[in-house]
A and B are shown apart, each in its own frame.
Chain A
Amino acid sequence: MQEHRRRPNLTVYLAKSFYKAKQQSRLLAFSVSVSNLSDADDSIAKIELQINYTTSDGMCMALRIPGDAKLVHEFGFKESPALIPPIRIDSHQTVAGWVFFELKEALLDDRRLESYVLLFQDTHGAVSKLEQAIIQGLVDETAKSNN
Protein backbone atom coordinates (compact mmCIF):
# COMPACT_ATOMS: atom_id res chain seq x y z
CA MET A 1 0.00 0.00 0.00
CA GLN A 2 2.84 2.35 0.96
CA GLU A 3 4.68 1.42 -2.25
CA HIS A 4 1.54 2.16 -4.27
CA ARG A 5 1.38 5.68 -2.79
CA ARG A 6 4.94 6.37 -3.91
CA ARG A 7 4.12 5.71 -7.58
CA PRO A 8 4.19 8.79 -9.86
CA ASN A 9 0.76 10.36 -9.92
CA LEU A 10 0.35 13.79 -11.47
CA THR A 11 -3.16 15.16 -11.85
CA VAL A 12 -3.88 18.06 -14.17
CA TYR A 13 -6.69 20.56 -13.72
CA LEU A 14 -7.63 23.04 -16.43
CA ALA A 15 -8.85 26.43 -15.24
CA LYS A 16 -9.14 28.40 -18.50
CA SER A 17 -8.27 28.00 -22.16
CA PHE A 18 -8.11 30.62 -24.89
CA TYR A 19 -7.15 30.84 -28.50
CA LYS A 20 -6.14 33.87 -30.49
CA ALA A 21 -5.83 34.13 -34.24
CA LYS A 22 -2.53 35.38 -35.57
CA GLN A 23 -1.46 35.62 -39.17
CA GLN A 24 -1.34 32.01 -40.43
CA SER A 25 -1.32 30.68 -36.87
CA ARG A 26 -3.61 29.87 -34.00
CA LEU A 27 -2.16 30.72 -30.60
CA LEU A 28 -3.42 28.63 -27.72
CA ALA A 29 -3.15 29.32 -24.01
CA PHE A 30 -4.15 27.02 -21.17
CA SER A 31 -4.19 27.93 -17.51
CA VAL A 32 -3.47 24.73 -15.62
CA SER A 33 -2.53 23.43 -12.23
CA VAL A 34 -0.63 20.18 -11.81
CA SER A 35 -0.79 18.35 -8.48
CA ASN A 36 1.55 15.64 -7.33
CA LEU A 37 -0.63 13.15 -5.43
CA SER A 38 2.24 10.76 -4.80
CA ASP A 39 4.25 10.40 -1.58
CA ALA A 40 7.39 10.84 -3.73
CA ASP A 41 8.68 14.07 -5.28
CA ASP A 42 8.36 14.36 -9.05
CA SER A 43 8.99 16.76 -11.95
CA ILE A 44 7.26 17.74 -15.17
CA ALA A 45 9.81 16.97 -17.87
CA LYS A 46 7.83 17.81 -20.99
CA ILE A 47 4.62 19.67 -21.88
CA GLU A 48 2.99 19.08 -25.26
CA LEU A 49 -0.30 19.63 -26.98
CA GLN A 50 -1.76 16.75 -28.95
CA ILE A 51 -4.16 17.79 -31.68
CA ASN A 52 -6.52 15.03 -32.75
CA TYR A 53 -7.92 15.54 -36.23
CA THR A 54 -9.43 13.67 -39.14
CA THR A 55 -8.11 13.88 -42.68
CA SER A 56 -10.41 14.32 -45.68
CA ASP A 57 -10.01 10.52 -46.22
CA GLY A 58 -11.45 9.93 -42.75
CA MET A 59 -8.15 8.90 -41.19
CA CYS A 60 -7.73 9.81 -37.51
CA MET A 61 -4.42 11.49 -36.82
CA ALA A 62 -2.64 12.86 -33.77
CA LEU A 63 -0.17 15.70 -34.02
CA ARG A 64 2.03 16.77 -31.12
CA ILE A 65 3.40 20.27 -30.80
CA PRO A 66 5.81 21.48 -28.11
CA GLY A 67 4.99 24.30 -25.69
CA ASP A 68 6.39 27.76 -26.32
CA ALA A 69 6.60 29.94 -23.19
CA LYS A 70 7.65 32.98 -25.26
CA LEU A 71 4.05 33.28 -26.48
CA VAL A 72 3.08 34.71 -23.07
CA HIS A 73 3.79 38.16 -24.60
CA GLU A 74 1.17 37.54 -27.29
CA PHE A 75 -1.53 37.14 -24.64
CA GLY A 76 -0.23 39.62 -22.09
CA PHE A 77 -1.20 37.47 -19.10
CA LYS A 78 0.54 38.77 -16.02
CA GLU A 79 -1.30 37.20 -13.10
CA SER A 80 0.48 33.84 -13.21
CA PRO A 81 3.72 32.61 -14.78
CA ALA A 82 4.28 30.44 -17.83
CA LEU A 83 5.20 26.85 -16.96
CA ILE A 84 8.60 25.97 -18.40
CA PRO A 85 9.87 22.39 -17.91
CA PRO A 86 11.62 20.97 -16.00
CA ILE A 87 9.33 21.89 -13.11
CA ARG A 88 9.86 20.28 -9.75
CA ILE A 89 6.70 19.30 -7.85
CA ASP A 90 7.30 18.04 -4.36
CA SER A 91 5.10 15.36 -2.87
CA HIS A 92 1.50 16.52 -2.36
CA GLN A 93 2.26 19.95 -3.80
CA THR A 94 0.76 21.82 -6.77
CA VAL A 95 2.19 24.14 -9.41
CA ALA A 96 0.04 26.45 -11.51
CA GLY A 97 0.61 28.60 -14.57
CA TRP A 98 0.02 29.05 -18.27
CA VAL A 99 1.16 26.84 -21.13
CA PHE A 100 1.25 28.19 -24.66
CA PHE A 101 1.31 26.66 -28.11
CA GLU A 102 1.39 27.90 -31.68
CA LEU A 103 -0.53 25.87 -34.21
CA LYS A 104 0.27 26.79 -37.82
CA GLU A 105 -2.94 26.90 -39.86
CA ALA A 106 -1.14 25.07 -42.68
CA LEU A 107 -0.84 22.03 -40.42
CA LEU A 108 -4.60 21.57 -40.35
CA ASP A 109 -5.76 23.21 -43.56
CA ASP A 110 -8.95 21.34 -44.59
CA ARG A 111 -8.64 18.73 -41.82
CA ARG A 112 -11.37 18.39 -39.19
CA LEU A 113 -10.10 19.22 -35.73
CA GLU A 114 -11.53 16.82 -33.14
CA SER A 115 -9.93 17.76 -29.83
CA TYR A 116 -6.95 19.19 -28.01
CA VAL A 117 -5.16 17.05 -25.43
CA LEU A 118 -2.62 18.53 -23.02
CA LEU A 119 0.18 16.07 -22.23
CA PHE A 120 2.38 16.39 -19.15
CA GLN A 121 5.23 13.89 -19.08
CA ASP A 122 6.97 13.39 -15.76
CA THR A 123 10.53 12.31 -14.96
CA HIS A 124 9.54 8.63 -15.11
CA GLY A 125 7.95 8.93 -18.57
CA ALA A 126 4.42 8.73 -17.17
CA VAL A 127 2.03 10.96 -19.11
CA SER A 128 -0.94 12.78 -17.58
CA LYS A 129 -3.54 13.85 -20.14
CA LEU A 130 -6.28 16.41 -20.19
CA GLU A 131 -8.66 16.64 -23.14
CA GLN A 132 -10.40 19.83 -24.20
CA ALA A 133 -12.79 19.98 -27.13
CA ILE A 134 -13.81 23.66 -27.04
CA ILE A 135 -11.55 26.64 -26.50
CA GLN A 136 -12.76 30.19 -26.03
CA GLY A 137 -11.68 32.72 -28.63
CA LEU A 138 -9.88 35.83 -27.47
CA VAL A 139 -10.35 39.11 -29.34
CA ASP A 140 -8.23 42.20 -28.81
CA GLU A 141 -10.99 44.79 -28.17
CA THR A 142 -8.46 47.61 -27.78
CA ALA A 143 -7.09 47.01 -31.25
CA LYS A 144 -10.66 46.91 -32.63
CA SER A 145 -11.77 50.17 -31.06
CA ASN A 146 -8.67 51.96 -32.29
CA ASN A 147 -9.50 51.15 -35.90
Chain B
Amino acid sequence: MKLRRATIELRGPHEAIPVTIVADAAMATVGVGDGRLVPVLIVATSGRPDIEDFFRAHQYIPTGDHTAQWAHLDGHEGKISLVLKFVRPSELTIILEFDIVRQGGLVDQIIRARALYLQAGQPGDRLSTTLDQHRVIVEIGDLEFRNWNELLLKHLIADFRASGLSRQRSKQAAKELIEEWRRVTESRLGRPVPTSGTT
Protein backbone atom coordinates (compact mmCIF):
# COMPACT_ATOMS: atom_id res chain seq x y z
CA MET B 1 0.00 0.00 0.00
CA LYS B 2 1.30 3.42 -0.92
CA LEU B 3 1.01 6.02 1.81
CA ARG B 4 -1.09 9.04 0.93
CA ARG B 5 -0.41 12.39 2.59
CA ALA B 6 -3.58 13.92 4.00
CA THR B 7 -4.67 16.59 6.44
CA ILE B 8 -7.05 15.70 9.26
CA GLU B 9 -9.71 18.34 9.84
CA LEU B 10 -10.21 18.98 13.54
CA ARG B 11 -12.59 21.01 15.68
CA GLY B 12 -9.73 22.34 17.79
CA PRO B 13 -6.10 21.74 18.85
CA HIS B 14 -7.26 19.47 21.69
CA GLU B 15 -8.31 16.86 19.11
CA ALA B 16 -4.81 16.70 17.60
CA ILE B 17 -3.40 15.08 20.74
CA PRO B 18 -3.82 11.29 20.76
CA VAL B 19 -5.93 10.17 23.72
CA THR B 20 -4.23 8.05 26.35
CA ILE B 21 -5.23 4.40 26.37
CA VAL B 22 -5.23 3.54 30.07
CA ALA B 23 -6.16 -0.13 29.65
CA ASP B 24 -7.07 -2.65 27.03
CA ALA B 25 -8.85 -5.97 27.12
CA ALA B 26 -11.19 -7.94 24.89
CA MET B 27 -14.82 -9.00 25.05
CA ALA B 28 -16.80 -11.58 23.13
CA THR B 29 -20.58 -11.31 22.98
CA VAL B 30 -22.75 -13.74 21.07
CA GLY B 31 -24.83 -10.92 19.58
CA VAL B 32 -21.88 -8.80 18.44
CA GLY B 33 -19.67 -9.74 15.47
CA ASP B 34 -20.69 -13.42 15.56
CA GLY B 35 -19.11 -13.82 18.96
CA ARG B 36 -15.65 -12.73 17.89
CA LEU B 37 -13.25 -11.32 20.44
CA VAL B 38 -13.46 -7.52 20.14
CA PRO B 39 -10.78 -5.34 21.81
CA VAL B 40 -11.92 -2.94 24.54
CA LEU B 41 -9.95 0.28 24.89
CA ILE B 42 -10.41 2.38 28.01
CA VAL B 43 -9.39 5.95 27.18
CA ALA B 44 -8.55 8.77 29.58
CA THR B 45 -11.01 11.61 29.25
CA SER B 46 -9.27 14.13 31.49
CA GLY B 47 -8.81 17.30 29.44
CA ARG B 48 -11.33 16.03 26.89
CA PRO B 49 -14.84 16.93 28.14
CA ASP B 50 -16.04 16.41 24.56
CA ILE B 51 -15.27 12.68 24.83
CA GLU B 52 -17.14 12.47 28.15
CA ASP B 53 -20.10 14.20 26.49
CA PHE B 54 -19.91 11.84 23.54
CA PHE B 55 -20.22 8.80 25.83
CA ARG B 56 -23.03 10.43 27.72
CA ALA B 57 -24.91 11.22 24.50
CA HIS B 58 -24.46 7.64 23.35
CA GLN B 59 -26.24 6.40 26.47
CA TYR B 60 -29.40 8.20 25.34
CA ILE B 61 -28.93 8.08 21.56
CA PRO B 62 -27.64 4.59 20.80
CA THR B 63 -27.19 5.07 17.05
CA GLY B 64 -24.08 6.76 15.73
CA ASP B 65 -22.12 7.53 12.62
CA HIS B 66 -18.37 7.73 12.12
CA THR B 67 -15.45 7.22 9.78
CA ALA B 68 -12.20 5.48 10.67
CA GLN B 69 -8.75 5.79 9.10
CA TRP B 70 -5.39 4.26 9.97
CA ALA B 71 -2.61 6.83 9.77
CA HIS B 72 1.04 7.58 10.44
CA LEU B 73 1.16 10.97 12.14
CA ASP B 74 4.09 13.20 11.16
CA GLY B 75 6.94 12.89 13.65
CA HIS B 76 5.45 9.89 15.46
CA GLU B 77 8.00 7.23 14.50
CA GLY B 78 7.29 3.63 15.42
CA LYS B 79 3.62 4.46 16.02
CA ILE B 80 0.42 3.83 14.13
CA SER B 81 -2.75 5.83 14.72
CA LEU B 82 -6.41 5.19 14.27
CA VAL B 83 -8.31 8.39 13.51
CA LEU B 84 -11.98 8.15 14.47
CA LYS B 85 -14.19 10.97 13.26
CA PHE B 86 -17.64 10.84 14.82
CA VAL B 87 -20.54 12.73 13.27
CA ARG B 88 -23.40 11.39 15.40
CA PRO B 89 -24.55 11.64 18.10
CA SER B 90 -21.92 14.32 18.57
CA GLU B 91 -19.15 15.67 16.39
CA LEU B 92 -15.61 14.96 17.52
CA THR B 93 -12.36 13.36 16.47
CA ILE B 94 -10.53 10.83 18.63
CA ILE B 95 -6.99 9.82 17.69
CA LEU B 96 -5.84 6.52 19.16
CA GLU B 97 -2.09 5.98 18.94
CA PHE B 98 -0.37 2.61 19.24
CA ASP B 99 3.28 1.70 19.62
CA ILE B 100 3.80 -0.87 16.84
CA VAL B 101 6.12 -3.10 18.89
CA ARG B 102 4.48 -2.79 22.30
CA GLN B 103 0.85 -2.69 21.13
CA GLY B 104 1.14 -4.45 17.77
CA GLY B 105 -0.93 -7.37 19.03
CA LEU B 106 -3.74 -4.99 19.95
CA VAL B 107 -3.67 -3.30 16.54
CA ASP B 108 -3.62 -6.73 14.89
CA GLN B 109 -6.67 -7.73 16.91
CA ILE B 110 -8.57 -4.53 15.97
CA ILE B 111 -7.80 -5.11 12.29
CA ARG B 112 -8.94 -8.72 12.46
CA ALA B 113 -12.04 -8.02 14.58
CA ARG B 114 -12.85 -5.00 12.35
CA ALA B 115 -14.24 -3.34 15.44
CA LEU B 116 -13.36 -2.11 18.90
CA TYR B 117 -15.16 -1.05 22.03
CA LEU B 118 -14.40 2.40 23.44
CA GLN B 119 -14.94 3.15 27.10
CA ALA B 120 -14.29 6.37 29.01
CA GLY B 121 -12.08 6.07 32.06
CA GLN B 122 -9.12 7.29 34.02
CA PRO B 123 -5.66 5.94 34.83
CA GLY B 124 -5.98 2.81 36.95
CA ASP B 125 -9.27 1.66 35.43
CA ARG B 126 -9.47 -1.93 34.27
CA LEU B 127 -12.24 -3.71 32.37
CA SER B 128 -12.71 -6.16 35.23
CA THR B 129 -13.47 -3.33 37.66
CA THR B 130 -15.60 -1.28 35.25
CA LEU B 131 -17.77 -3.95 33.62
CA ASP B 132 -20.96 -1.98 34.29
CA GLN B 133 -19.58 1.14 32.53
CA HIS B 134 -21.14 2.24 29.26
CA ARG B 135 -19.07 1.41 26.19
CA VAL B 136 -19.51 2.12 22.50
CA ILE B 137 -18.77 -0.34 19.73
CA VAL B 138 -16.92 1.26 16.82
CA GLU B 139 -16.83 -0.60 13.53
CA ILE B 140 -13.53 -0.24 11.76
CA GLY B 141 -14.37 -2.14 8.58
CA ASP B 142 -11.86 -3.23 5.99
CA LEU B 143 -9.66 -0.17 5.69
CA GLU B 144 -7.30 -1.68 3.12
CA PHE B 145 -4.49 -1.67 5.65
CA ARG B 146 -2.77 -4.27 3.50
CA ASN B 147 0.82 -3.57 4.47
CA TRP B 148 0.10 -4.11 8.16
CA ASN B 149 1.69 -7.58 8.14
CA GLU B 150 4.98 -6.36 6.70
CA LEU B 151 4.96 -3.24 8.89
CA LEU B 152 4.43 -5.29 12.05
CA LEU B 153 6.98 -7.87 11.01
CA LYS B 154 9.56 -5.20 10.18
CA HIS B 155 9.21 -3.48 13.57
CA LEU B 156 9.22 -6.73 15.55
CA ILE B 157 12.32 -7.99 13.72
CA ALA B 158 14.10 -4.69 14.38
CA ASP B 159 13.14 -4.93 18.05
CA PHE B 160 14.40 -8.51 18.37
CA ARG B 161 17.60 -7.51 16.54
CA ALA B 162 18.08 -4.64 18.99
CA SER B 163 17.76 -7.08 21.87
CA GLY B 164 20.68 -9.11 20.47
CA LEU B 165 19.10 -11.87 18.38
CA SER B 166 20.57 -12.83 15.01
CA ARG B 167 18.81 -11.72 11.82
CA GLN B 168 17.48 -15.21 11.12
CA ARG B 169 16.40 -15.84 14.72
CA SER B 170 14.71 -12.41 14.86
CA LYS B 171 12.65 -13.20 11.75
CA GLN B 172 11.60 -16.52 13.20
CA ALA B 173 10.76 -15.06 16.61
CA ALA B 174 8.69 -12.27 15.05
CA LYS B 175 6.67 -14.71 12.94
CA GLU B 176 6.10 -17.01 15.91
CA LEU B 177 4.96 -14.11 18.07
CA ILE B 178 2.41 -12.96 15.48
CA GLU B 179 1.13 -16.53 15.02
CA GLU B 180 0.71 -16.89 18.77
CA TRP B 181 -1.17 -13.56 19.08
CA ARG B 182 -3.52 -14.58 16.31
CA ARG B 183 -4.09 -18.06 17.69
CA VAL B 184 -5.14 -16.63 21.04
CA THR B 185 -7.36 -13.88 19.62
CA GLU B 186 -9.10 -16.00 16.99
CA SER B 187 -11.37 -17.63 19.53
CA ARG B 188 -15.10 -16.98 19.25
CA LEU B 189 -17.90 -17.65 21.68
CA GLY B 190 -19.22 -21.13 21.04
CA ARG B 191 -16.16 -22.16 19.05
CA PRO B 192 -13.07 -23.84 20.48
CA VAL B 193 -9.66 -22.23 20.00
CA PRO B 194 -7.85 -24.15 17.25
CA THR B 195 -4.71 -25.74 18.62
CA SER B 196 -1.74 -27.17 16.78
CA GLY B 197 -0.43 -30.69 17.37
CA THR B 198 -2.07 -34.10 17.34
CA THR B 199 -5.18 -35.15 19.17
Contact = CB atoms under 8 A, between A and B. Distances in A.
Interface of A: 48, 55-57, 59-66, 104, 106-107, 111
B84 interface: no
Contact of A65 (B11, B12, B53, B61): B61
Interface string B46-81: 000110010011001101000000000000000000
Nearest to A102: B60
Contacts of A59: 12, 14, 49-50
Do most interface residues of chain A lie in helix, strand or loop, or is the interface mixed? strand
Contacts of B89: 63-65
A66 B64 CA distance: 10
Contacts of A57: 49
A62 B91 contact: yes
B123 to A, nearest CB: 20
B177 interface: no
A66 B61 contact: yes
Given A64-B89, A64-B90, A55 B56 contact: no
A66 B53 CA distance: 17
A106 B60 contact: yes
A63 B49 contact: no
Contacts of B126: none
Contact of A107 (B56, B87, B91): B56
A32 B53 CA distance: 30
A40 B14 CA distance: 42
B56 to A, nearest CB: 7
A66 B61 CA distance: 9
Contact of B90 (A62, A66, A106): A62
Contacts of B56: 106-107
19 contacts: A48-B88, A55-B49, A55-B50, A59-B12, A59-B14, A59-B49, A61-B50, A61-B53, A61-B90, A61-B92, A63-B57, A63-B61, A63-B89, A64-B88, A64-B89, A64-B91, A65-B61, A107-B56, A107-B57
Contacts of B88: 48, 64
B60 A104 contact: yes
Contacts of B11: 60
Contacts of A62: 90-91
Given A104-B60, A107-B57, A107-B60, A63 B50 contact: no
Which 10 residue pairs spanning A and B have beta carbons closest together? Answer: A104-B60, A64-B88, A62-B91, A63-B90, A55-B49, A57-B49, A59-B49, A63-B57, A107-B60, A59-B50
A27 to B, nearest CB: 14
Contacts of B91: 61-62, 64
B93 to A, nearest CB: 13
A62 B89 CA distance: 8
A45 to B, nearest CB: 13
Contacts of A106: 56, 60
A1 B56 CA distance: 48
A56 B57 CA distance: 16
A66 B50 contact: no
A62 B57 CA distance: 11
Contacts of B61: 63, 65-66, 107
Contacts of A56: 49
Contact of B87 (A55, A60, A64, A111): A64
